[in-house]
Amino acid sequence: MSQSAEPRVVTEPAWDLGEIVAELAGLRAISQRRRYRSRSLPELPSREAVAGIVDALVAALYPRHFGPAGLSEDSLDIYVADTIEQALRRLRREVGRELRLADLDGAAKPGEIEQQALTIAADFAHDLPRIRALLDSDIRAAFDGDPAAKSLDEVVFCYPGVAAMIRHRIAHRLYVLGVPMLARIVAEIAHAQTGIDIHPGATIGESFFIDHGTGVVIGETARIGKRVRLYQAVTLGAKRFETDEHGRIVKGGDRHPIIEDEVVIYAGATVLGRVTIGQGSSIGGGVWLTRDVPPNSVITQAKARHDAFEDGGGI
């Protein structure tokens, strides 16, 4: 015999939204006064818009892989042109937002920021063929360097290191052109998608391959040569941070490694500071390195020492 359910008791919420919103507004106002020096609030770049721009650019660079299905040979150029045009218009708007945000003192003349945003977007557009050429060398390096790779198309579709590099090549150009916040947003989108953390300031040569990739970290001032290969969990980081007389971290400065051409760094290796790894060197897995390495060196972990003593020996 079923029992009737007891009536549900509905009560009013126990929170006071008015008070919560007022407190948050007060904290927000304090933060904004510190950041914007009492200016009217500037419009912030949109992370959602930047993500859409990146997706469009990736599709324009590799339309047969990341564009809409069913594109014919005749329609490819039309699709690419339309996609780039729309992406650049959106990019120009986001660039303008970052430039206005950086104009803390309102020193820019009327129309100056709009013109600068247009110039940056145009310069970036002219860099797209160079970006594609570099990416093609990265894709070929991944295919040649991984015995598991069955085709170049598989590498483009499936390799996280390639996905990270497509976005890094885009982010690095934005960084060089003077919009570091947009560049960092692109880099963090790639980081979230792949587990590979490459600062957009890092300079990376052609034919770069990250195998597996999860946990790789490459710092802002790292310089990486041609035909370099990294494996998962490699860190190219800073050894220490300079501080001023008040104990605050000094921004900028070359603090990350220089990796010369044709270097291989295996899984879990950590290279810290402004050290140089010479051309053709191999850095073994798990190595902790804070000094320069001459060209054509092979660096491995120290072997464990095993001593056996009998009849009181070794005392």
Q: Contact at 8 Å (CB) between 228 and 263?
A: yes
Q: What are 9-21's pLDDT values in tens digits?
A: 767 778 889 999 9
Angstrom distance (rounded) from CA 89 to CA 80: 14
CATH number of 44-195: 1.10.3130.10
What pLDDT digit, counting tens, does each position of 183-198 carry? Answer: 999 999 999 999 999 9
Do 44-195 and 215-305 share a fold? no
Kindly give, in sequence order, each residue whose CB lies less than 8 Å from that of residue 62, ignoring residues fewer than 6 positions away: 156, 166
Per-domain boundaries in the chain = 44-195, 215-305
Q: For position 314, what pLDDT does the model report?
A: 43
d(CA 264, CA 108): 47
What's the pLDDT tens digit per position in 30-61? 998 888 875 678 899 999 999 999 999 999 99
CATH topology of domain 215-305: UDP N-Acetylglucosamine Acyltransferase; domain 1 (2.160.10)
pLDDT at 69: 92
- pLDDT at residue 176 greater than cutoff 90: yes
Q: How confident is the model at residue 201 (pLDDT cuts 50, 70, 90)?
A: very high
Find, among 234, 237, 238, 290, the residue nearest to 263 by Cα.
Answer: 234
Specify the pTM.
Answer: 0.89
